[in-house]
Amino acid sequence: MKPLAGLRVLDLTRVLAGPFCTALLADLGAEVIKLEPPSGDDYRHIGPFVQGESALFTLVNRGKQSIVLDLKDPAAQTTARAIALACDVVVENFRPGVAARLGLGPELRSENPALIYASISGFGQTGPDAALPAYDLVAQAMSGLMAANGEDGGAPLKVGESQGDLMAGLYAGWAILAALYRRGQTGIGATLDVSMFDALFSLLPTSHAVQFYAGQTPQRVGNRHPLSTPFGCFDCADGQAVIAVLGDRQWQGLCGLIGRPDIASDPDLSRDDGRTRQEPRIRTAIEGWTGTRPVAEVVAALAGAGIPTAQVQSLAEAAASPHGVARGLVTNLPHPVLGTAPTVGQPVWFDGQKPMASRSAPALGADGPEILRCFGLAP
């Protein structure tokens, strides 16, 4: 199952947002040509390393071909431009204006109107902050995400993973597929402007509801939900269990399980907003039951009662769990140095199959001669 087989993508990106986007396209069968400078993508030089190979680069550049061109050289710019004009999609994440100075900007579409040109940047191609340098931490800080994330009464806290990069890459892939659909109807491509800042801001619907509808400033509440209760982590005898109750049926089931008919019948706690106002009271009642029992027993009892629950798992536990294995979370792909490399691909199943790149990340410039021959270009 390769729904994007036949699609040719020129990847002018580096580090994370752009490479993540193009890796998703490669998973679906697109031919992705990664253009790198002589020193390689910056991520090739960021650890952890295994046999000299960057794990981060390997994970987000699966399924691609690599060609080395020094874009400081006008002849290399000419070659890159010829490749770009023969592709269906170009993806870049230079600072705004840099691609155009190299002759690889969206003006390519004047020569190939069917081209889909996607730019990924920190703050977009327009606006007063467009030229600012941006890393994920900067985008998280400016978007409102950090302000709403953290312990109750604590300082703003960033999300551990680079969500700004990843969400911008995901949105770019989504937009490229939408543009491909339109091109199939009209023959006309698109110029796409994807911003890490915009992407993160769009993914805060709970904060949007609190700010724009309730007229309140979103507050940091740690692991509990800001609007729903009980919805968070609860202490057990040997750890914590997650309990997520939404709606009266689950609330009544939980109260019956923990032996608290008094709070089940309390009219002040009959609605979600009322329970949230009295969250400390409800937490005390729940932990009076969970606190004397091991996590495994608590989770089993809650699950048996139809209440969403879980033990907090490590990444290794999630990958090795029977469900994680059944869902194919991790796949070993052929790698030119490592032999095989653990790879986490796109998560969607198509007609019972999970599309995945056929190989891991390429060696620097390994496919250059073949790519030039394919495009009829001289070395």
Instruction: Provide the b/e sequence for 279-309 (b: ≥16 CB within 10 Å).
Output: beebbebbeebbeebebeebbebbeeeebeb
Using CA of residue 231, residue 235, residue 236, residue 241, what is the dihedral sign? positive
CA pair distance 275, 227, nearest whole angstrom: 9
Q: How far does CA 254 lie from the centroid of its chain?
A: 33
Greatest Cα-to-Cα distance within the chain, rounded to the nearest angstrom: 81
3-state helix, strand, coil in the chain (%, to 5): 40, 15, 40
* C-alpha distances in Å from residue 14, one per residue of 28, 38, 40: 20, 13, 9
Q: What is the DSSP string of 274-328?
A: HHHHTHHHHHHHHHHHHTTS-HHHHHHHHHHTT--EEEPPPHHHHHHSHHHHHTT
Task: Exactly one of 45, 208, 225, 323 is catalytic; name it.
Answer: 225
Residue type, 200: L
Task: Provide CB contacts within 8 A for 339, sequence distance 6+.
Answer: none
CA angle (15, 59, 21) in 5-degree steps: 55
The yes-or-no answer on residue 208 being catalytic is: no
Active site residues: 225
